[in-house]
Amino acid sequence: MEGLRMDYRFTAVLILMLSMLTFFAKPAYPATSQTNVSGSNTSIEGGYEGGATTYQSGSSSNTTTNSTSNSNIKSAPPTASAPSYNSMTQDVCSTGASIGVQTFGVGISGGKHFIDKNCERLKLARILNDFGMRVAAVAILCQDERVFESMISAGTVCPIDGKIGKEAMALWSKYGHERPDYNTYMKRVKDREKADLKAQKEMTKALDKQDKLKAKMEAIEKKKSNKKFKKDTGVHKQ
């Protein structure tokens, strides 16, 4: 569990750094610019006719046109590549993970190895079983809460402090906080207590209803008996 928390912390720190770089880094662009200038001049002097316009001798007209265009070319820097993380051998229970983020301003990447605890338990249990230490192998597997719960459900309690069977069950009952499935176990206990309380209330309600019905039937029988007694008494008087 501690290793898993460290993995989560590493991932959270890496994501936070990437977010800060994304929002606060200033873009870096190549300083490339292009300027184009073009122009034309037209000079007209008098003394001729052109279409509907007559220019007298001594008149003149000058026209000058200038055009300027500027463009800045901005391109992104090279892409940041996430590194590749591989396990050295097949007997190592680790996996690699990497991440990379690229913006116009900056790129960053990183990675880390993560240990697979379940894989380690399986390998250790297999080695202990090969050495003939079956109880120790089962104890290793019982560190997984799923295995622990299945063993409890099957009636074969996981070993504890060198004890097995009923003695182990007594110790697990005494030191319940040491169970791998303690949180799940406590939730199940509370749920069962609620279910038992609900069943008890329903049973009490049913018994009360039955008592009321019984009292009502007894009252009816008593009333019938009184009527019969009065009727019989009247017959004797005649």
| Structure confidence by residue, pLDDT tens digits, 126-184 | 999 999 999 999 999 999 999 999 999 898 999 999 999 999 999 998 998 999 989 98
Q: Do 106 and 209 share a domain, yes or no? A: no
- Number of domains within the chain: 3
The SS3 assignment for 228 reads helix
Domain range enclosing 134 = 117-180
Q: Is 85 within a domain?
A: yes
Tell whether the torsion through CA atoms of 226, 228, 233 and 238 is positive or negative: positive
Distance CA 73, CA 87 (A): 44
Q: Is 123 within a domain?
A: yes
In the block, tokens 């090279």 appear at: 78
Instruction: Please give the chain's pLDDT, 238 residues, in tens.
Output: 444 455 566 666 667 766 665 555 555 544 455 555 555 555 555 444 555 555 555 555 566 666 666 666 666 666 666 666 665 566 778 777 777 777 766 777 777 777 888 888 999 999 999 999 999 999 999 999 999 999 998 989 999 999 999 999 999 989 989 999 899 889 988 998 999 999 998 898 888 888 888 888 888 887 777 776 666 665 454 4
Domain boundary among 180, 199, 222: 180
